[in-house]
Amino acid sequence: MQLERALQLLGHSGLPLPQGEAGGPAWLQAVIDALVELSSRDALTGLANRRAFELALSREIDRVARSGEPALLLTLDIDHFKRVNDTWGHTAGDHVLRAVAGALIDSVRPMDLVARVGGEEFAIILPNCASAFGETVAERVRRRVERMPVPVAPGQQITCTVSIGGAFAPQWVRSTAALWVERADQQLYLAKAQGRNLVRLEPTVVSVVSNEERRLLFETFQFQDHE
């Protein structure tokens, strides 16, 4: 019964059903792999969901702390999305969400992770993104969305825009995913307050180290001293 339900979920998701002899070890493993993939994806857009985003964000902040390599987090909101739903209906809103998701994927590298983290909220993790390229990448994303017509009804198209905030993970500092998101969100709020359809990034790669990050760093050194 559970296997039947799993196959129904895969069928409804649009993912291809496993090939080969049904019930065999390889076939069952393929079913499990497909369910794991499904659990990490947003059903509407096919992007990584919030759970997958948070796991990836924690891994990336740890990698940056160890390696010192730069990494950029972008947080995005679709501007005036409620107006789309109120004017054209929720089906049109879904078209906009899927179109924006596709534009984000088209604007970044395969190694970057694009996620839908809320209703009209998205986020992008960009590993190994040097500060010299951060503004360029974010502007490319913004322009790609701005120039994209979205069909919402027969013979009707609309355009939409996004506001983008960004922050680089503090290098060589044991930070937290929550603090990184908070910094990116602060820039997003600034972009929205200044008129929307804007990009705002933290002005420097090396963020001011917060009291919590100092505590984490101190605890790390204490742990190493006792090893």
Q: Convert the pLDDT of each residue in 191-222 to its tens digit.
A: 999 999 999 999 865 445 556 655 555 554 44
Counting the structural domains of the chain, the total is 2
Same domain, yes or no, for 9 and 56? Answer: no
Token pair belonging to 184? 């990116």
Residue 122 φ then ψ, to 5°: -130, 165
- Write down the pLDDT at residue 65: 86
Per-residue model confidence (pLDDT) at position 224 = 47
- Please provide the average confidence, as pLDDT, over all residues in the chain: 83
Return d(Cα 104, Cα 9) in angstroms, integer.
Answer: 26
Q: Give the pLDDT confidence of 119-178 residue by residue, as tens digits.
A: 999 999 999 998 889 999 999 999 999 999 999 888 999 999 999 999 998 877 777 899
Instruction: Please check whether residues 56 and 137 belong to one and the same domain.
Output: yes
Catalytic residue list contains 202: no
Q: Which of 77, 97, 67, 99 is nearest to 85 (CA)?
A: 97
Whether 21 and 88 map to the same domain: the answer is: no
pLDDT number for residue 219: 56
Q: In this predicted structure, what is the pLDDT of residue 187? A: 97
Residues 90, 148: Cα–Cα separation, whole Å: 19
Asked, for residue 224, whether it belongs to a domain, the answer is no
Tell me the residue range of the domain where 18 lies.
2-39
Using CB atoms within 10 Å of the CB of residue 162, give its burial: 0 to 12 exposed, 13 to 18 middle, 19+ buried: buried
- Of 182, 170, 175, the C-alpha closest to 217 is 175
What pLDDT, in 10s, does the model give residues 100-136?
A: 999 999 999 999 999 999 999 999 999 999 888 999 9
> Looking at the domain assignment, is residue 44 inside a domain?
no
* Same domain? 96 vs 31: no
Same domain, 32 and 57: no
Per the confidence metrics, is the pTM higher than 0.85?
Answer: no
CATH number of domain containing 187? 3.30.70.270
From the list 120, 139, 212, 219, the catalytic residue is 120
The percentage of residues in the chain with a pLDDT greater than 90, rounded to a whole number, is 59
In a domain, residue 142? The reply is yes
Contact (Cβ atoms closer than 8 angstroms) between residue 129 and residue 70: yes
Same domain, 20 and 61: no
Averaged pLDDT, 73-95: 96
221 in a structural domain = no
Six-digit token string for 125: 């993790």
Q: Are residues 14 and 115 in the same domain?
A: no
pLDDT at 64 over 80: yes
